Amino acid sequence: MSEPPLQDNLTGHEYDGIREYDNPIPGWWTWLFVAAIVFSVLYYMAYQLGTAGTSVAQAYDAEVTANLRMKFEEIGTLTPDEPTILMYLNDKEWLLFGQKVFVGKGACASCHGKDGEGLTGPNMTDDAYINVKRLGDVGTVIQHGANNGAMPAHINRLHPNEIVMVAAYVASLRGQNKPGPRGEEGSVIDPWPEAPAPQAPVEPTD
């Protein structure tokens, strides 16, 4: 069977004297292209959004938090006093945990700002404090509240270790002087005591 004349295979489209040849792509290529688009959508939903709308970063943060909570068994139940808070003031891993409680479960960020810059509550990043004179007072205020409930008590809302880590995180914000809607409030107090360097884990010996 002879091939149809070239003229019969033209589409009738012409651009700058160039005539378009009617040569459609194969059907299998079209369906492969459609399948790739569908797969990309499913891949994004599964690996970027995660389960039930949880992002990969959120899932990682949740895993880190869960692992740190398991370490509560190793460190025991802490007392939110000055020596204990001071012990965790330079511990990056536990400060990260304290930050997560500050922003999440403790709901501190709703009043004090995500970074402690202050919203309806005072700025936590300057050197002036209303109810704090010593480092240990940070834990006391978190535990029992202040200002007739304006600062709510968290003694029944947070584990004692969570209070210690939040107190250490709040104390670590001092001196960052982040701008916020509230000016400096209270009185400038003495610097925190010098925090000890976090101890390196002891390697097991044979």
- We report the CATH number of the domain holding residue 179 as 1.10.760.10
Kindly state whether residues 45 and 62 are assigned to the same domain: no
Kindly state whether residues 39 and 71 are assigned to the same domain: no
The pLDDT score that the predictor gives to residue 139 is 95
SS3 for 128? strand
- Tens digits of per-residue pLDDT, 153-180? 999 988 899 999 999 999 999 999 999 8
SS3 for 11? strand
Range of the domain at 39: 6-49
Kindly state whether residues 10 and 35 are assigned to the same domain: yes
- Tens digits of per-residue pLDDT, 9-50? 777 777 777 777 777 778 898 899 899 999 888 877 776 665
Please give the torsion angle defined by the CA atoms of residues 68, 73, 75 and 79, in that order, rounded to the nearest 10 degrees. 100
Would residue 199 count as lying in a domain? no
Give the C-alpha separation, 134 to 202, whole Å.
Answer: 32
Would residue 1 count as lying in a domain? no
Would residue 93 count as lying in a domain? yes
Would residue 32 count as lying in a domain? yes
Which residue's entry shows tokens 């790739």?
A: 36
* Structural domain count, the chain: 2
Kindly state whether residues 70 and 164 are assigned to the same domain: yes
Q: Taking the model in full, what pTM does it have?
A: 0.66
Kindly state whether residues 86 and 170 are assigned to the same domain: yes
Would residue 195 count as lying in a domain? no
Would residue 178 count as lying in a domain? yes
CB 101, CB 165: distance < 8 Å: yes
